[in-house]
Amino acid sequence: MLRDKARPDGTPFATRRRRWVWGLGVATVTASAAFGLASYQAGATPTPAPTSGVAAEQPRVTDPSPGPEPVTGKGNDPLTATEVDKAKTVALTPSLIASAKDVTGAAGPEYLSSEIVEETSVRKAAIYFYDYRDNSLVKQVVDLGTGKVSASFAATGMQPPASSREVSTALDLLLADRLGAELRDVYTRATGRPWSGKEDLTVGAHVYQARPADTGAAQCGKHRCLQLVVQVTGGPYIDINDIIIDLSGRTVARLT
């Protein structure tokens, strides 16, 4: 059996060898750290390149505008415009068109919104409509791969945010009502000029739910009702928060 021989100082050769190897490792790490520090310093404090007779490359400007939207999304990506149009067409089945009414009273439900159905193996779109015939929210699930309705739901008492056409219809109902005169009067006082028409307004809306003490809009919640948020375009807001438009009943009332 081999034994470690000792140096004159009594230290075995094997121990000295192991210490030398460890020392080499430390030296290597120290050298690597020093190299890394030098590289960091070189990267953190760049020095100008020496001037040469070759002309420098001119900076390039990239086009920041996004490319065209893809026709079909992937996974749980939001629906593309093409997918929404396709899903809406599929969701409006002949039976739904025949049985439902939109905000104007015409055949077919009122389109509200759409969203991707997540956590499915295929891309599906959920299309939401409001049926003014019976005041129900209709959800049609469309399989975008097969182009067919895979599920259908309906429920009353549900009031999601209003569509732009519902807001426009509510404004028209208000302007045609006697309370529309109040909107015109507040407009004149706020701007100092005569009423110039709805084109000068920027209008949004909150869906209104009746409170226990309401007497002017007691059906709101069962009915589809809006409370308009009106602003003179680029100017002041017009406070008509006490006026409620019942889109289902096509009536206008003041909260009391």
* Average pLDDT value for residue range 95-104: 97
**Is the model more confident about 94 or about 36?**
94
> CA geometry: angle at 114 spanning 108 and 120, to 5°?
120
**Is the model more confident about 190 or about 20?**
190
Position 60 scores a pLDDT of 60
Is 238:232 a contact under the CB 8 Å cutoff?
yes
Position 130 scores a pLDDT of 98
Q: What is d(CA 130, CA 156) in angstroms, rounded to the nearest whole number?
A: 10
Is 220:208 a contact under the CB 8 Å cutoff?
yes
Q: Does residue 170 surpass a pLDDT of 60? A: yes
Position 74 scores a pLDDT of 84
What share of the chain has pLDDT > 70, as a percent?
73
Position 233 scores a pLDDT of 94
Task: Give DSSP secondary structure letters for the chain.
Answer: -----B-TTS-BHHHHHHHHHHHHHHHHHHHHHHHHHHHHHHHHS--PPPP-SSPPPPPP----S--PPPSS--TTPPPPHHHHHHHHHHHS-HHHHHH-B-TTS-BSPEEEEEEEE-S-SS-EEEEEEEETTTTEEEEEEEETTTTEEEEEEEEES--PPPPHHHHHHHHHHHHHSTTHHHHHHHHHHHHSS----GGGEEEEEEE----TT-SSSTTBTTB-EEEEEEEETTS-EE--TTEEEETTTTEEEE--
Position 70 scores a pLDDT of 75
Q: Does residue 1 surpass a pLDDT of 60? A: no
Position 68 scores a pLDDT of 73
CB-based contacts of 145, cutoff 8 Å, min separation 6? 122, 123
Each residue's pLDDT tens digit, 190-231: 999 999 999 999 999 999 999 988 888 999 999 999 999 999
**Is the model more confident about 65 or about 230?**
230
Q: Does residue 21 surpass a pLDDT of 60? A: no
* Average pLDDT value for residue range 133-147: 97
Position 11 scores a pLDDT of 46
pTM comes to 0.71
Measured between alpha carbons, how far is residue 41 from residues 29, 30, 98 in Å? 18, 16, 74
* Average pLDDT value for residue range 116-133: 95
Closest CA to 241 of 208, 193, 197, 210: 208
Position 215 scores a pLDDT of 81
Q: Is the dihedral of CA 70, 71, 74, 76 positive or negative?
A: positive
Sketch out the chain's domains with CATH numbers: 81-156 (3.10.450.40), 164-254 (3.10.450)
**Is the model more confident about 140 or about 41?**
140
pLDDT band at 172 (very low <50, low <70, confident <90, very high): very high
